[in-house]
Amino acid sequence: MRLDITGRHVDITPALRQLIDKRLVRLGKLLNDSVISAQVILSKEKYRLQSEIVVHARGDRTLRGNGEDTTWVNAVRQASAKIEQQAHKVKGKWAERKRRAASPRAVTDADAATAPAGPRIVRASRYAVKPMSIEDAALQVDSRAESFVVFRNADTDAVSILYKRKDGNLGLIEPD
């Protein structure tokens, strides 16, 4: 991270530089080291000490905070607190964007409490179970885009499933 410290009517002492570095390191950890650069402007007008911190983060994000107090510690703390508040909001947006990209639909809090942790079940449209022979079912599997067909076996009157196997053959699932 590039850091520019400017003092207006102020000498930048090593203690002041250390105070600013300490606050910006904390901010860098909060944003997972996505901070590109920071500009700190310290100014003094009579008894008022003002600090302005501008942080540039990834994604063209600019975080800005101002602080004003009678001590440098409090002025820098106020400015960095405002930036940390903005950083929490930005980080939440980044996390939300990742969550939306990972799941096809948004999950509400109520859904999250009742949803099981396992794989999600996607309900397909209704499937008509027609009576047919195994040979007719094999023709259906070959002609359809789906790799299976559910049918009522005309010989046994049981519901069976005929599916296309990975080796190119057809598999038959029948109840006992």
Looking at the predicted structure, is the pLDDT value of residue 43 above 80? yes
Question: pLDDT tens digits for 54-92?
Answer: 988 877 788 899 999 988 889 999 998 999 888 888 878
Same domain membership, residue 139 and residue 52? no
Instruction: Determine, yes or no, domain membership for 147.
Output: yes
CATH number, residue 41:
3.30.160.100
Q: Are residues 134 and 92 in the same domain?
A: no
Q: Answer yes or no: do 28 and 70 share one domain.
A: yes
34 & 99 share domain: yes
Range of the domain at 137: 130-173
Verify that 14 and 57 share a domain, yes or no. yes
> Does any domain span residue 71?
yes
Q: Tally the domains of the chain.
A: 2
Q: What percent of the chain has pLDDT over 70?
A: 91
- 3-state secondary structure labels for all residues of the chain: CEEEEEEECCCCCHHHHHHHHHHHHHHHHHCCCCEEEEEEEEEEECCEEEEEEEEEECCCEEEEEEEEECCHHHHHHHHHHHHHHHHHHHHHHHHHHHHHHHCCCCCCHHHHHHCCCCCCCCCCCCCCCEEECHHHHHHHHHHCCCCEEEEEECCCCCEEEEEECCCCCEEEECCC
* 59, 19: one domain: yes
Write the pLDDT tens digit of every residue in 134-158.
Answer: 888 888 888 877 788 888 988 888 8
Residue 123 has pLDDT above 80, yes or no: no
Per-residue pLDDT band for 176 (boundaries 50, 70, 90) equals confident
Is residue 97 assigned to a domain?
A: yes
Residue 125 within any structural domain of the chain: no
Residue 118 falls inside a structural domain: no
Neighbours of 149 (CB within 10 A): 24
Percent of the chain whose pLDDT exceeds 90:
11
Please tell me whether residues 23 and 70 are part of one structural domain: yes
The pLDDT assigned to 115 comes to 55
- Region 126-133: what's the mean pLDDT? 82
- Position 113 confidence tier, pLDDT thresholds 50, 70, 90: low
